[in-house]
């Protein structure tokens, strides 16, 4: 499985059957490279401009904006509704945490989660192989709360997202606050990673990617 970070909370996933899944495509005004990829499935965690720019995606994708269990093109997708803030959604509403099962891997994308989920909510994720988690704070959980979530879910791979970069003019923190005190961290000089379910690390590993810097 290949996972590419385009920027912000947007990822492009391609499984062994060449099914391409995009999560949370952003509006080009955000500052990252405009999205022009052709994909089969698009997941939208919530209806904000930096996560819902489906019209920028090419092809005729199956678009998912709700948490119901589905099987699309052989990929199992489900979701859990969480809150975009610490006030039960009263400030920014809800967000969907999507679970993707494909190629023997379970991927969990937490959208714009703004709180530490309850034990009951966390238990619904089950085994987590790859966790995409926001870490920048202000609109989402900050580095401290993100580390709490990671500790509870105990994923094999953690990919931080939704943090400050040179391309983004948002009042959020960089990835550094999340990484403070973490030991098993790898910085990539590229914006993609390939994973094999049989070669996952035994202990949680954080992988910090570069964002996409040229058009495809």
Residue 127 Cα distances to 24, 35, 106, 135, 179, angstroms: 23, 31, 7, 21, 23
| Structural class in CATH, domain 2-208 | alpha beta
The pLDDT tens digits of the residues spanning 181-201 come to 899 999 999 999 999 999 999
Confidence of residue 91 (pLDDT cuts 50, 70, 90): confident
Q: Does the structure show a pLDDT above 70 at 216?
A: no
Query: So where are the chain's domains?
Result: 2-208
Confidence of residue 215 (pLDDT cuts 50, 70, 90): low
Could you tell me which of 161, 158, 204, 193 has the C-alpha nearest to residue 14?
193
Distance of alpha carbon 149 from the chain centroid: 14
Calpha distance 137→161 (Å, rounded): 11
**What mean pLDDT comes out for the span 95-122?**
97
- Give the chain's mean pLDDT: 95
Q: Does the structure show a pLDDT above 60 at 77?
A: yes
**What mean pLDDT comes out for the span 119-138?**
96
User: Cβ-count burial of 48 within 10 angstroms (0-12 exposed, 13-18 middle, 19+ buried)?
Assistant: buried
The pLDDT tens digits of the residues spanning 154-186 come to 999 999 999 999 999 899 999 999 999 899 999
* Stronger pLDDT, 87 or 147, i.e. the higher one: 147
User: Cβ-count burial of 77 within 10 angstroms (0-12 exposed, 13-18 middle, 19+ buried)?
Assistant: buried
Query: Quick check: 153 and 161 in contact, CB under 8 A?
Result: no
**What mean pLDDT comes out for the span 51-65?**
95
Strands 105-109 and 130-134: parallel
């Amino acid at each position: 499985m290949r996972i590419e970070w385009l920027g912000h909370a947007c990822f492009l996933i391609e499984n062994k059957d060449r099914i391409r899944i995009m999560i949370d495509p952003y509006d080009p005004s955000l500052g990252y490279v405009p999205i022009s990829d052709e994909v089969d499935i698009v997941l939208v965690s919530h209806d904000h401009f930096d996560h819902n720019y489906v019209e920028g995606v090419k092809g005729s994708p199956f678009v998912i904006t709700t948490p119901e269990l589905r099987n699309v093109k052989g990929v199992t997708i489900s979701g859990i509704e969480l809150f975009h803030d610490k006030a039960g959604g009263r400030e920014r509403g809800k967000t969907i945490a999507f679970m993707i099962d494909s190629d023997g891997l379970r991927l969990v994308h937490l959208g714009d989660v703004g709180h530490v989920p309850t034990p009951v909510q966390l238990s619904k994720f089950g085994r987590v192989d790859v966790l995409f988690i926001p870490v920048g704070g202000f609109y989402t959980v900050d580095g401290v709360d993100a580390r709490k979530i990671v500790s509870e879910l105990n994923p094999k791979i953690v990919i931080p997202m939704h943090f400050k970069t040179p391309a983004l003019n948002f009042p959020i923190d960089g990835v550094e606050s999340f990484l403070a005190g973490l030991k098993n961290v790898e910085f990539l000089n590229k914006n993609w990673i390939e994973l094999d379910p049989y070669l996952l690390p035994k202990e949680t590993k954080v992988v910090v990617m570069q964002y996409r810097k040229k058009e495809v």
